[in-house]
Each structure stands twice: as structure tokens, then as C-alpha cells.
Amino acid sequence: MRTMCTYITEKVAVSGSAKGASGWFKVTDGSVYFDHPVHAPEGHTLNIDFLAPEAGPSARVAVELTAESARALAKAIESVLDQVPPGLA
């Protein structure tokens, strides 16, 4: 197994809400990166942070997914959005 810090990070502006440790909050920023997880028992995971920097570092919802499941998630998101009737999204 290759081990390294990848530092691969993409930032994306997002608009919506997320539920974190202290309840719902409005999210404005997302970070997507492939690197060492904090919790998942893997060498590297696809990590997504939903953030609200104005509300401080703790306004964060984090997920750490295996590469395979992250791809499945991305496909599912695309698939669901593709099924939305015109005019709704």
C-alpha cells in the first residue's frame, strides 16, 4: 500500500444547510479532499467538509468515505438530480 499525504483539495461554494454537533446551520463552503481520515479505518479516504467559516471552525459537517463509496455517492447524486422534473431544480 502506498502511503502519502496527498494534499489534493478542491474547494467549492455550496448553498444549503447541514446538521452538525450543535444543530442545523447554513453552509457556504465545501472542501473535498483525498487524504488521511481522522476516524475511518483506511489509509486514505475521500473527505468532504461542509463548512460555514463565518460561524467558526466547529460549524462543520465532515464525512470520510472509501473511494469506491464516494464514487457511488457522486453517481447517486447525479442520478437523482437527472430525475427531477423540469422546473424544480
Partner 1 sequence: MSDAFIAETITITGDGGTEIEAYSARPADPGKQIGGVVVIHHMPGYDRESKEHVLRIAAEGYNAVMPNLYHREAPGADPDDAAATARANGGVPDDRLVGDVKGAAEYLKGLPTANGKVGTIGYCSGGRQSFLAGVSLQIDAAVDCYGAFIVGEVPEGLPLKVGPIVDKTPNLSCPLLGLFGAEDQYPSPDHVKELEEALKAAGKTYEFHSYEGAGHSFFSADRPAYRPEAAVDGWNKVFEFYGKYLSA
In angstroms, give the least distance from the CB of 86 to partner 1. 34
Whether 58 and 20 have beta carbons less than 8 Å apart is answered as: yes
Q: Say how far apart CA 60 and CA 53 lie, in whole Å.
A: 9
Burial 61-88 (b: 16+ CB within 10 A, else e): bebbbeeeebeeeeeeeeeeeeeeeeee
In angstroms, give the least distance from the CB of 74 to partner 1. 19
Q: Is 55 in the site for partner 1 (CB under 8 A)?
A: no
Q: Which stretch binds partner 1 (CB under 8 A): 26-34, 67-75, 78-86?
A: 26-34
Q: Is 17 in the site for partner 1 (CB under 8 A)?
A: no
Q: Is 53 in the site for partner 1 (CB under 8 A)?
A: yes
Whether 35 and 8 have beta carbons less than 8 Å apart is answered as: yes
Interface residues with partner 1 (CB under 8 A) are 1-11, 29, 31, 33, 36, 38, 41-43, 49, 51, 53, 56-58, 60, 62
